[in-house]
Amino acid sequence: MSNTLLDVRNLRTEFATQDGIVHAVNGVSFVLEEGETLGLVGESGSGKSVSMLTVMRLIPMPPGRIPSGEVIFQGNDLLKLSAEEMRQIRGNKIAMVFQDPMTSLNPVLTIGTQITEALELHMGMNNEQARKRAAELLKMVNIPEAERRLDDYPHQFSGGMRQRVMIAIGLSCSPQLLIADEPTTALDVTIQAQITDIVKRLKRELGMAIIWITHDLGVIAGLADRINVMYSGYIVETAPTKELFANPLHPYTVGLLGSIPRLDEGKREKLTPIEGLPPDLVNLPVGCPFYDRCRFRTEKCLQENPPLMSVGVKHWSACWNYEDVRQQRDAILKRTALPVAGTPQS
């Protein structure tokens, strides 16, 4: 693909709490190309939101701390910028859309004021220009009667409309990167589909890169070029989307896929949940963090935490026993082996 937009290297985030230090993100590295869509998947507490908030430098410090890492965005390490320089980047070059549209807008300011905020701050627009642009943005996210609705307050909008407003705010300064933190989780399914459609269309039109955080593999399947699967602060598997669904090589990814209800399955088939709970982030194990819940575990997993290992074309997995996973996963997923494009046959 084209140029590297974002290069995250060995990023760590910790929080000092009364119970000890919570290791929320534990050495995350990945590269995002310009215009690429990256899915960040994992359960609650897997560090997907925190890692992105760290990229945005929106972690409250204290108690938060970034003991190591580099976040190289367009050649600059964001972690080394001053607070003021970072503020210039937020909303301007990197924008973020949050999960809950019901609480993400300021109830006492009009929708128009909140959209124009970023335009006036970063683009130096005057009130009139910003208002015109705000109306365009609202039209772009399919809000009818955009001009009139600029003077409405958030409580006069429905949840789906508010999320579209949030996206409009995110897009207002034409950022190179949009980080969407579970933007559809709080919405019902039809609205989810609308929002993802809007984002897909806008991505085509505007050509920005997107990092889409979710715990819903179904939502991300049609959206992302590549998926990072996160577990207790580590990236445990990363692969192009099709490859990941066809050829999962980490027990956790297999577990996630097994927990998706399927329409083409027999009537009485039960879902295969992942047993157990993720490890305590205060006392992370020396070995693999997935050990307790893993059906492929061996002695080695207890002693040494597996690094990401190349297991295919653009495909990395952090599992010592990925060959076992390859052989047994289809039985677990109750499916016939899917054809895998571009994977070296072992």
Partner 1 sequence: MATTTIDLPAAQVELEKKARPAWLETWQRFARNKPALLGLLIIILLVLTALFAELLAPYDYRQTNLDAVEQPPSAAHWLGTDAIGRDMLSRLIFGARSVVFVMFVVATLTFTLGLLLGAIAGYFGGWSDTLISRLIDFLFAFPSLLFIFFIAATIKPGLVESLRSFALANNMPWLTDFVRSGYADYLVVMISLSILGWAGLARLVRGQILSLREKEFVLGAQAVGVPHWRIITRYLLPNSLAPIFVAISLGLGSIALSEGILAYLGVGLQPPNPSWGNIIAEHSVRYWRTWPEMIWMIFIPFAVIASVVFAFNFVGDGLNEALNPELHD
- Our CB check for partner 1 shows the closer of 83 and 331 to be 83
- Our CB check for partner 1 shows the closer of 146 and 229 to be 146
- Our CB check for partner 1 shows the closer of 6 and 95 to be 95
Query: Contact between 89 and partner 1 (CB under 8 A)?
Result: yes
Task: Please state, in angstroms and as integers, the Cα–Cα distance from residue 129 to each residue in 119, 134, 135, 206, 338, following that order.
Answer: 9, 9, 10, 20, 53
Query: Contact between 124 and partner 1 (CB under 8 A)?
Result: no
Query: Contact between 157 and partner 1 (CB under 8 A)?
Result: no
SS3 57: coil
Contact 258, 264 (CB under 8 A): no
Query: Contact between 99 and partner 1 (CB under 8 A)?
Result: yes
**What's the CA gap between 244 and 324, in Å, rounded?**
16
Tell me how crowded residue 242 is: count the other CB atoms within 10 A of its CB: 16
Give the residues across from 21 on adjacent strands.
16
DSSP 270-292: PP-PPPS-PPPSSS--SS-TTGG
Query: Contact between 17 and partner 1 (CB under 8 A)?
Result: no
Of 92, 247, 305, 321, the residue at the interface with partner 1 (CB under 8 A) is 92
Of 12, 48, 122, 131, the residue at the interface with partner 1 (CB under 8 A) is 122
- Our CB check for partner 1 shows the closer of 153 and 285 to be 153
Binding track over 169-188 against partner 1, x by CB under 8 A: x-------------------
Residue type, 205: E
Binding track over 217-236 against partner 1, x by CB under 8 A: --------------------
Instruction: Please give the backbone phi and psi of residue 306, each rounded to the nearest 5 degrees, phi first.
Output: -70, 135
**What's the CA gap between 336 and 254, in Å, rounded?**
14
Can the peptide bond before residue 101 be classed as cis, meaning omega within 30 degrees of 0? no
Window of 54-62, 189-197, 297-305, 336-344 that interacts with partner 1 by CB under 8 A: 54-62
**What's the CA gap between 141 and 49, in Å, rounded?**
24
Query: Contact between 109 and partner 1 (CB under 8 A)?
Result: yes
Of 7, 43, 70, 100, the residue at the interface with partner 1 (CB under 8 A) is 100
* Chain residues in the site for partner 1 (CB under 8 A): 56, 58, 62, 87-92, 95-96, 98-100, 103-109, 117-118, 121-122, 156, 166, 169
